[in-house]
Chain A
């Protein structure tokens, strides 16, 4: 329970970051993606500052922990860059471009109670489930 509340606060922090940055608003995300229109580059700064914060924290922690802990921190991921990775990312990008929603902002938007937001999140969960059913071996 105590850990649950701590993790709840981390989720809160993540969501507040999205709201403050403007990334919870799909109109702003589409304006960022619309390079040929009235381009709004500010979301590049969101990613840059998130990377700088997380990267800096990782760097600091790695300097202050021994090698064993360092190994624990880096979870194993497949190193290969394959058709699955590229294809999945490309499909994801089409949905992101149509809607201006990626998973975090879509969940943050739920409390506004908009039907289109519910439709997106419901279908996104269906997409997760579809993947699990179709690719049990992956």
Chain B
């Protein structure tokens, strides 16, 4: 890890934390992306418009970053078929476990929830094992 990427990680993380804090304190919503996005699918929870606004901002961030000179094109790590399988696991698993990287890993741990700490350690471990198997065994 070089100095610029460490600095970028700290700045980027602070923005994520600031966004979550603003959403929580001004609107009492948790910035868990899987929970926010899952609310767009039926059966719909009440008062859904804020989810659309937040996700629209999230999606619009990449073109904005590009205008500012960044290159936010993702380097995909698997074939479309394998990415579809991964997406299904991420979607289903995050709802079964009640959160994802943002909901458990940031918002949950920040409020010192033991559930979120356990969930975060679990998905870090299973993701680490998965990457190890794919990269060093297959």
Contact = CB atoms under 8 A, between A and B. Distances in A.
Interface of A: 3-27, 30, 33-37, 40-43, 45-55, 57-58, 61, 72-75, 77-81, 84-112, 114-117, 119-132, 135
Interface residues of B, number: 108
Given A15-B61, A21-B13, A119 B80 contact: yes
B92 A53 contact: no
Contact of B33 (A37, A53, A94, A103): A103
Nearest to B102: A104
Contacts of A3: 27, 50, 53
A119 to B, nearest CB: 4
Residue among A17, A93, A102 with the highest chain B CB neighbour number at 10 A: A93
Contacts of A106: 87, 90
19 contacts: A10-B31, A10-B54, A23-B12, A30-B135, A52-B14, A58-B24, A73-B28, A77-B108, A81-B115, A89-B122, A95-B87, A98-B77, A103-B91, A105-B74, A112-B72, A117-B74, A119-B80, A120-B86, A130-B88
A101 B9 contact: no
Interface of B: 1, 5-6, 8-28, 30-31, 33-34, 37-38, 40-43, 49-50, 53-65, 70, 72-98, 100-102, 104-111, 113-115, 118-120, 122-132, 134-136
Contacts of A5: 53
A84 B96 contact: yes
A99 B78 contact: yes
Given A84-B97, A95-B89, A30 B58 contact: no
Nearest to A117: B74
B62 A127 contact: no
Q: Which 9 A-B pairs have the closest CB atoms?
A: A127-B91, A11-B57, A15-B61, A21-B12, A88-B97, A53-B17, A97-B130, A88-B96, A93-B126
B17 A42 contact: no
Contacts of A86: 97, 118-119, 122
A117 B86 CA distance: 11
A8 B57 contact: yes
A94 B105 contact: no
B33 A85 contact: no
